[in-house]
Amino acid sequence: MNEPFTHALPILHTLHEHGYQAYFVGGAVRDVLLGREIGDIDIATDATPDTVESLFDKTVDVGKAHGTVIVLLDGISYEVTTFRSESEYEDFRRPKEVTFISSLKEDLLRRDLTINAMAMDIHGDIIDHVGGKQDIERKWIQTVGDPACRFQEDALRMMRAVRFLSELGFELSPKTEAAMKKDKHLLANISVERKKIEMEKLLKGRYCEKAIQVLISTQLYEELPGLETYGLNESLQAFPYYLLDGLEEVWGAFIHLLGLDEAEAVSFLKEWKLSTKVLKEAVAISKYVDCNWDEEKMFEAGEHVLLSSLKITQLKHERRIFFDELEAAKHSYDALPIKKLQDLAVSGKDLMAFRQKPSGKWIAEELACVKKAVLQNQLENRKEAIEEWLIACDQRLEND
């Protein structure tokens, strides 16, 4: 057994020493078998939440009613959850009642996918009551038990299944896929916020193209915000979103490849309930994909939008990132004499004083002319130089 499991072993030892069962469970066990980097370590036990709190010095109550307590060990958080069974679900997402139990097997049988329903004991031995190891070997995404029942309990499990397919490159088991096609309408009961979390993880998966094909073949996409209107096209499927960084880049690429104009993009992203910040940045990034850059466009876009949209342009056409081209673009941006309108050596008030004219739309027009000349290095960004340039412009107009 290796890190990070060994670091969490004292928690299992403490529970064992007091007569309780304790196991590592869930995604960390799956990732050991897959040889992937281990993320968060989760622990399951037959000790009640109150007992867990009494056994450890540093704990945080994050959901005792559902059996979960966080144990802090050397600054690292571990979720410790009591074995439980669940009554029938309400609103297709949560059980009406949770009962604490003493059986690891029964606890594992309530979970969503076989690959997520295995445990590891204190010696590093895998406990698999659901065929998770076999499904990893044959590269299957399969529910624990009857898929129709699992999806009736929590319809988001359909999206989770496709998300794991995107991350791992596996296939849906035939029964799971058939149930998904039949029960896709249940996704209408799931909040947009929960769908969004899974969609963003799906898009960032290494095998996103395969996942989007599954969204189409199962018609799940029809239950996702905006996609029942716009559909999923071929260029959108083939794009390597996993090479992008922030969510604003992912959504920026997505709306560009959907072929949405600015108004449609804003409406679409509002349906997905993105934050105002991510929405604005995504729309701006999408706008500048395939742009023919010059000083004015770089100024308008800003450094982040410039580099993000250029990256998406590269991936769209070449399916790879050219870092030397990004570095050259950054150098060009850094060389701009001004980065925002406030950097100009004159303001609207300065122009009013210089012209001895009242405020009006002429100010914005004249500032735009000054900005353009400064950006193109035709004019030095000094107040005196700008005033001299404006006088020269006036004289040329008079001579014309």
pLDDT of residue 231: 84
pLDDT of residue 287: 97
Q: Is residue 400 pLDDT above 60, yes or no?
A: no
Q: Find the mean pLDDT for residues 235-259.
A: 94
Is the domain spanning 341-399 CATH 1.10.246.80? The answer is yes
Q: Find the mean pLDDT for residues 219-226.
A: 95
pLDDT digits (tens, 9 = 90+) for 11-62: 999 999 999 999 999 999 999 999 999 989 999 999 999 999 999 999 999 8
Hey, which CATH number is domain 145-224, 2.60.40.420, 3.40.50.300, 3.30.70.20, 1.10.110.30? 1.10.110.30
64: left (phi over 0), alpha (psi -120 to 50) or beta: alpha
Q: Tell whether residue 110 is among the known ligand binding residues.
A: no
Count other Cβ atoms within 10 Å, centred on residue 282.
Answer: 29
Listed in order, the ranges of the chain carrying CATH 1.20.58.560 are 243-336
Listed in order, the ranges of the chain carrying CATH 1.10.110.30 are 145-224
Q: Find the mean pLDDT for residues 332-356.
A: 93
Contact indicator for 211, 205 with CB cutoff of 8 Å? yes
Tell me the CATH architecture of domain 243-336.
Up-down Bundle (1.20)
Contact indicator for 319, 312 with CB cutoff of 8 Å? no
Q: Tell whether residue 163 is among the known ligand binding residues.
A: yes
CATH number of 1-138: 3.30.460.10
240: left (phi over 0), alpha (psi -120 to 50) or beta: beta
381: left (phi over 0), alpha (psi -120 to 50) or beta: beta
Is the link from the previous residue into 4 a cis peptide, with omega within 30 of 0?
yes
Tokens 């030095």, located at residue? 380
Residue 42 phi, psi (nearest 5): -110, 145
pLDDT digits (tens, 9 = 90+) for 171-195: 999 999 999 999 999 999 999 999 9
Q: Tell whether residue 42 is among the known ligand binding residues.
A: yes
User: Average pLDDT, whole number, for the chain?
Assistant: 93
Listed in order, the ranges of the chain carrying CATH 1.10.246.80 are 341-399
pLDDT band at 392 (very low <50, low <70, confident <90, very high): confident
Query: In terms of residues, how long is the chain?
Result: 400
pLDDT of residue 399: 63
CB neighbour list of residue 49: distance below 8 Å, 6 or more residues apart: 61, 64, 67, 68, 69, 82
Q: Is residue 119 pLDDT above 80, yes or no?
A: yes
Supply the pTM of this predicted model: 0.88
Q: Tell whether residue 160 is among the known ligand binding residues.
A: yes
Cα distance between residue 58 and residue 71, in whole Å: 6
